[in-house]
Amino acid sequence: MKILLIHSQNVEVIKNKEATSNPQEFPEDIIEMEGLVLVCYVSVEDQDTYDTNLIAKQGAGEIEAAILQISRFPDVIRERNEEIRKHNRKIEKNEIKGKPRKMLNLIMDQSMYRVDKVLVYPWAHLSKFLSNEANAMEVCPKIARLLQEKGIEAKFSPFGWYKSFKINCLGHELAEMYRDVKLAIKPEEQVKDSKFKVITELGKEIDLTFDEQKKFLPLKEITDKDFKLFLKSELGSRTVDKAIEPAHIKVMKEFELIDFDENTDKGNLRWYTKGVIMKNLIKNFVEDRIIDYGAILIDTPIMYSVKNKKLTAQTARFPARSYWLESGKDRFILRYASDFLLFDLFSQMNLKPQYFPLRVYEYEQYDFRREQEGELSGLRRLRGFIMPDMHTLCKDIDSSIEEFKKQYQLIKNLEKDLGIKSYVIFRVTKDFYGENKDWIIDLIKTEKQPALLELWEERYAYYILKFERGVLSAENKSATLATNQIDVESSLEFMIDNEGEKRQKYNISFTDSDGQIKHPIILHNSPTGGLERVLWGLIESAIRNKESIVPGFKTWLSPIQVRIITISNEQNEYAKRILDIINGESYRCDWDDREESVGKKIRQSEIEWIPYTVILGKKEQENQTISIRKRLIGEPFGPKKQTSEQTNNVNLDDLLEKLEDDTRNFPKYKLPKPFRKFSTKIYFRK
């Protein structure tokens, strides 16, 4: 909805001729309103048709706020002038330096800053994305009625007529205003009162208690220092200190993985070659595992219509975070998740009991969420991001629980193979936990470390259980990676919201073997979390533990897996042959062919976290062997901060066997040819 507000001295509207085939009744030939009138020209838009009562309520609220803004304006000026007087007195007393400020004056007498009456006028010229007539004509009368209920004298101009009108805009500071009102279905309330527990690695429940400042009190039974820091972040402020640049940003830039681009919207990234390699490796890795798990693949569009009520019922919950896209006479929203179009597809399918559990995986190459600028943080929180996502339709709650247990292990294995250490959180209703605590605790015990449990008095969202895996940053701030939820609401035809309003859902159904029409339970599983956040977690964890654990990426994921170092130019031909053999096996190998010392080349390899460094000297060339420095990635430092172990004069096959062992059952990805030698390597950053 768009609203143009004009503060006028008197208003006159004269009926001329019908403009539509079904205009509203216009019993008077003329509408006259004397006094100080706020004329509200209203364009009702396409998405508003989802719920004309709701958009009318929002519109009336904006008009009421504008009335208050006008009436309070003289007081605002008075308060500002008092601040100016104080400022100027300080200058006179030499308490501060600067020039005196000028006092502010109202354009009109302060008695003119009030609204006696309101006229709500249907006005199609503020938007090209208009609602249909049947719905649009309902809105202005509803707005007027809502204002009347607030004690405001209000009328509406009937819809569907050619009319002439006379207004006399007062021309003061707030006499002309504009409002863009996005349909906003109230999102589910956040939990106000919930109870927290720690589940130990042995399955013992420990209640968390809080002091008067709502800070949780330390637990003597918990000795895991990192878990204590995790609790502090989860239960306290998770705000990131903007004065401190997140540790991963320096690494992602210096390694030429990912960067920012000032020519796009903030929170959207530029991926360099090595970053693209890692991104595609993770994509292929997750997709392979998900297919082996039993999922089918889907790819849905990245934008959707605002005219579909099923979609609007969900997407209008966060209008401020939506990206809008215009295309001809229509407009669309860029998706921030795949659920909407996928669930709409489910609702159109002839689902059969034998399909279940129906696992559907989508690699969402593009998702968009317009986070507030202050919330953006490197790879941790973005506006454009990649999300691997699997949704599973289950026949009933019992089968959904069994499926959840299997997917719990799937997620655990994925994070292990990525090299991520995380902590588990279960968020669940008290009733569901009471009936299912045994298997939940059994899952937690498999972690061999404590977990956090949040209990809600009642369900406040579409799910009865939400499982998360959180990772600590170098600054000891946590963020969620993988999640899974048991959704008991989205498949229904309708639900009743917190205000008692009936809300459209997707109406996903199947006919069971007993002939009954039923609605499946849906699992929402992001098996790794957002791909950018996976890299965030890997880099932040590596930096966080850099004093005790050798940092690096697992061999299968490292953009460069092997680096060849030659001691002199005499080994160049031998190095070329080794380089071709290793790359020919689809491993990513480069050659540092610079005229630099061996020590400097080795240091560079260490800086870049290269898993294997091959050293070729005179002896290796003569014996047709190689010497290998293996970086001890993910292991404690050796004596004297040793980061590598070296094996001298071994066959190339020994290295190929090590690479095969490290990358077995993981995807391979070739290194582009310019990156195979330092002399031909492309550098993106100056």
Confidence of residue 188 (pLDDT cuts 50, 70, 90): low
Yes or no: say if 481 and 533 are a contact pair by the CB < 8 Å rule. Answer: yes
627 assigned to some structural domain: yes
Per-residue pLDDT tens over the stretch 341-367: 999 999 999 999 999 999 999 999 999
Per-residue pLDDT tens over the stretch 115-143: 999 999 999 999 999 998 888 999 999 99
Instruction: Judge whether residue 189 has pLDDT over 60.
Output: no
Per-residue pLDDT tens over the stretch 212-222: 777 777 788 88
**Do residues 41 and 83 share a domain?**
yes
Which pLDDT score, from 0 to 100, does residue 216 have? 78
Tokens of 387: 């999300």
**Do residues 469 and 571 share a domain?**
no
Instruction: Judge whether residue 523 has pLDDT over 60.
Output: yes
Return d(Cα 144, Cα 157) in angstroms, integer: 10
287 assigned to some structural domain: yes
78 DSSP 8-state letter: H
Assign residue 67 the CATH number of its domain: 3.50.80.10
Which 3 state secondary structure label does DSSP give 534? helix
Instruction: Judge whether residue 318 has pLDDT over 90.
Output: no
Yes or no: say if 230 and 423 are a contact pair by the CB < 8 Å rule. Answer: yes
Per-residue pLDDT tens over the stretch 420-448: 999 999 999 999 999 999 999 999 999 99
Per-residue pLDDT tens over the stretch 154-176: 999 999 999 999 999 999 999 99
Return d(Cα 257, Cα 274) in angstroms, integer: 5
What is the overall mean pLDDT for the chain? 94
Query: Which of these, 348, 346, 374, lies nearest to 360 by C-alpha position?
Result: 346
E strands along 69-182, which residues? 117-122, 153-156, 161-169, 176-180
Confidence of residue 639 (pLDDT cuts 50, 70, 90): confident
Per-residue pLDDT tens over the stretch 87-119: 999 999 999 999 999 999 999 999 999 999 999
Instruction: Judge whether residue 238 has pLDDT over 70.
Output: no
Assign residue 469 the CATH number of its domain: 3.30.930.10
**Do residues 534 and 563 share a domain?**
no
Which pLDDT score, from 0 to 100, does residue 309 have? 82
**Do residues 159 and 217 share a domain?**
no
Tell me what percent of the residues of the chain surpass a pLDDT of 70: 98
324 assigned to some structural domain: no
Return d(Cα 87, Cα 203) in angstroms, integer: 63
313 assigned to some structural domain: no
Residue where one domain finishes, among candidates 538, 563, 587: 538
CA 136, 138, 140, 146 torsion-angle sign: negative
340 assigned to some structural domain: yes
Which pLDDT score, from 0 to 100, does residue 498 have? 66
Instruction: Read off the pLDDT of each residue in 242-262 and give the average, rounded to a whole number.
Output: 93
**Do residues 237 and 357 share a domain?**
yes
Most confident of 299-308, 421-430, 499-508: 421-430
Tokens of 467: 């499982």
Residue where one domain finishes, among candidates 124, 158, 180: 180
At a CB cut-off of 8 Å and minimum separation 6, what does 368 contact? 302, 323, 334, 335, 336, 383, 384, 385
Which 3 state secondary structure label does DSSP give 616? strand
**Do residues 634 and 495 share a domain?**
no
Return d(Cα 667, Cα 251) in angstroms, integer: 24
Phi/psi at 386 (5° precision): -110, 135
Instruction: Read off the pLDDT of each residue in 228-238 and give the average, rounded to a whole number.
Output: 86
State which residues form the domain around 234: 194-301+336-538
H-state helical runs in 294-357: 309-315, 339-348
Per-residue pLDDT tens over the stretch 559-611: 999 999 999 999 999 999 999 999 999 999 999 999 999 999 999 999 999 99
480 assigned to some structural domain: yes
Residue found by looking up tokens 């941790």 in the block: 380
Structural domain count, the chain: 3
221 assigned to some structural domain: yes
Tell me what percent of the residues of the chain surpass a pLDDT of 90: 83
CA angle at 63 for the pair 58 and 69, rounded to the nearest 5°: 125
**Do residues 282 and 225 share a domain?**
yes
One-letter amino acid of 191: V
**Do residues 150 and 282 share a domain?**
no
Instruction: Judge whether residue 180 has pLDDT over 90.
Output: yes
Instruction: Judge whether residue 373 has pLDDT over 90.
Output: no
**Do residues 14 and 155 share a domain?**
yes
Instruction: Read off the pLDDT of each residue in 62-76 and give the average, rounded to a whole number.
Output: 98
Instruction: Judge whether residue 502 has pLDDT over 80.
Output: no
Which pLDDT score, from 0 to 100, does residue 435 have? 96
Instruction: Judge whether residue 20 has pLDDT over 80.
Output: yes
**Do residues 534 and 554 share a domain?**
no
Which pLDDT score, from 0 to 100, does residue 206 have? 94
Tokens of 280: 């595609």
Which pLDDT score, from 0 to 100, does residue 69 have? 98
Instruction: Read off the pLDDT of each residue in 672-682 and give the average, rounded to a whole number.
Output: 97
Residue found by looking up tokens 């838009």 in the block: 45
Assign residue 621 the CATH number of its domain: 3.40.50.800
Which 3 state secondary structure label does DSSP give 437? helix
Confidence of residue 495 (pLDDT cuts 50, 70, 90): confident
**Do residues 592 and 656 share a domain?**
yes
Residue where one domain finishes, among candidates 152, 180, 208: 180
At a CB cut-off of 8 Å and minimum separation 6, what does 68 contact? none
632 assigned to some structural domain: yes
Return d(Cα 519, Cα 506) in angstroms, integer: 10
**Do residues 127 and 216 share a domain?**
no
Yes or no: say if 341 and 537 are a contact pair by the CB < 8 Å rule. Answer: no
